[in-house]
Every structure is written in structure tokens, then in C-alpha cells.
Structure 1
Amino acid sequence: MVPPEEPNIYWPPGVHPDNTPEDWAAALKTEGYQVCEDERLEPGLVKVALYATPKMVTHVARQLRDGRWASKLGRFGDIEHDDLAALEGPLFGHVCLFMQRPRRADDP
């Protein structure tokens, strides 16, 4: 499945545009992310968790400085949640991959 062709959607050039964990990992690597082992809070790093169903990546949550997680839910707004299991289920699937990059001064 190719990401939607919308003006506010960006997909990095040269990265295969399917909704597989591998393609999302490749896209996130263009922003400095690397695969990591888990969701543990580590000073100086920002982590993301990819959710997937058996067919595709459905969601990406970003870890906040306090260890909680932030998620954009489209028209339902943005939420913060204490753990990743809060979004697991039939809609988003399950966490399938963690990635991290050095935290920037402008990161929330």
C-alpha cells in the first residue's frame, strides 16, 4: 500500500513507499533513526514505536522526555499515553519495531 498522495504527506525520495515495517524503518533512517531493542527511556534519545497489523504499519508513537508516549490520531486529535499497550488491538495491531535517534533541542 502506497502512502496517500496528499499535500501534507511526505515520503522520503528513494525509499520504497509501502507500509511494511522495513520500508518505514528505511524512511525513518533518513531522519537519523536506527533500530533499537526496546522502549526503555534513555536520556539523550528519542524513540518511536511502530505498530502493525499482519498487512501493514498502521501507526507510529513517539516517546516524550518523561517516558510517556505521544500519538496523533488524525481527526480524533493528539493523545499522550503511559504505555504502548494502550493502542494495541484490532485497529492498530501490535508494536513491531522500535527505533531511536539522538534527541534534538527542539524535540518535545
Structure 2
Amino acid sequence: MRSDRYWKKNCIAWVAEDDEIWWWPDIQHQYYWPPGICREETLEAFQEVYKMLGYEVCQGDVLEEGFQKIAIYTNSNKVPTHVARQLPTGKWTSKLGSLEDIEHNNLQRLTGNPGYGEVAYIMKKSIPV
């Protein structure tokens, strides 16, 4: 589904539920990156961003009542490439760069697609039930 009002944000912002700006840890500061988090394209930096938002590393992508989960993808060099968020239905949602927002039944649907890589970490945070 194309959402024109969301063209400004990428997958990182989509998962953080920021409707306004593109998030990326570029060293030129062209994009937003949370203050205090190292501006590096590393798994550790991405984990820190989501820890700041209340997520913690967990095991498994199965839907858990009372939690919202995210998945961080990396390429073969362990550089973050994509982030997806679990919906209350158990399906996942992704923002494909400046393109459309999609839903997928599982995390493997994006695995193997050029540019997305493999799921490196699942994180979750508590949400009101």
C-alpha cells in the first residue's frame, strides 16, 4: 500500500512510529538520528536506538500478548539494512525505503531479497493490553 503522507520516512522511522522524518546514522547529518546514539551503521547503534524506545533483545518472532516486536535485518557483513515491526495480528509491516508500506506474514518473506539480508535480532517492548 502506498502511503503518500509517509513518503518522508524509511523503515527505521516506520518502526519507531515517526511519521515525519527519515532516520539514518549518516555522518553528514543529513538525516535524523537520536541524540546520544553513535552515528554508525552498526547493529549495536541500531539496538541502542530501539532500546532508547523501550525495546529489549528477545528470542523468537511469535506474537506475544502485551508486547510489540521488531526485527533488525543485516547484510552478510552484519551492517543493518532493514527493520520490520510486528502488528497486533501477528503479521509484520515494513516500509520499503521511500516506496510503499507492506504487510508480510513472516520475517522470511524479506529474507534473501537483495538489500534486506537476514534477521539478526528480534526485540520487544511492553505495550498496554
- Structure-to-structure mapping, 1:2-81, within 5 angstroms: 3-4=25-26, 5-6=29-30, 9-55=31-77, 56-81=79-104
The separation in 2 between residues aligned to 1:3 and 1:104, in whole angstroms, is 30
Aligned to 2:13: none
Regions of 4+ moved over 3 Å: none
Give unpaired runs (5+ residues) of structure 1. Answer: none
TM-score, with length taken from structure 1:
0.85
- State the 1:19 CA deviation: 1.7
Secondary structure at 1:74's aligned position in 2?
coil
Show the counterpart of 1:98: 122
* Partner secondary structure for residue 51 of structure 1: strand
Aligned AA (1:83): N
| DSSP 3-state at the match of 1:70 | strand
C-alpha distance in structure 2 between counterparts of 1:58 and 1:41, whole Å = 23
Q: 1:32 to 1:40 in 2, by over 3 A?
A: same
| RMSD, aligned CA | 1.7
Unmatched runs of 5 consecutive residues or more in structure 2? 1-23
Number of aligned residue pairs: give it: 102
2:16 is matched with none
Identity %, equivalent residues? 42
> In 1, Cα distance between the equivalents of 2:52 and 2:66?
19
User: How far did residue 60 of structure 1 move?
Assistant: 0.3
Quote the Cα distance in structure 1 between the aligned partners of 2:97 and 2:65. 29
1:85 aligns with 2:108: yes
SS state of the match for residue 93, structure 2?
strand
1:100 aligned partner, one-letter code: K
